[in-house]
Amino acid sequence: MHEMAVAESILHTIIEQADRLGGARPVAARISCGQFNALNDETMRFAFESISQGTPCEGMRLEIRHIPLQAECTHCRTVFVFDIYHPMCPTCKSSRFDFQPDAPLLLEDIEFKEPHSPS
């Protein structure tokens, strides 16, 4: 399961950051990934919830944002969000384009509460 390995990596990163902040409690994390990253949101959340039990991350929110695939028109050089149902440049209507690299999986942000803040 790809999501389990990703969840473990994210969990370790969040716990390390919480320790650096003196035990601040993580309440939310935002990750982003490319459209074709093959990351299933539901499976990812389930994996994260499962492995975070009994850790400082238990009960925190995990927000996942999928970044659409982009293409560059080979005729007019416009960069646009690729639409599988309308595979053409929105500027010049050419159907010749190159795909841009898919966005990587990133842990964009972690939200913390101070160590002794009420919930």
Mean pLDDT of all residues in 20-36: 93
Q: How far is CA 46 from CA 41, 76, 92, 97, in A?
A: 9, 44, 44, 37
> What is the model's pTM?
0.80
How many CA atoms are closer than 13 Å to the CA of 112, on its beta-carbon side? 17
Which two tokens mark 74? 């080979």
> Domains of the chain (ranges plus CATH)?
2-68+103-113 (3.30.2320.50)
Mean pLDDT of the chain: 93
pLDDT given at position 13:
97
pLDDT digit string (tens) for 75-115?
A: 999 999 999 999 999 999 999 999 999 999 999 999 999 76
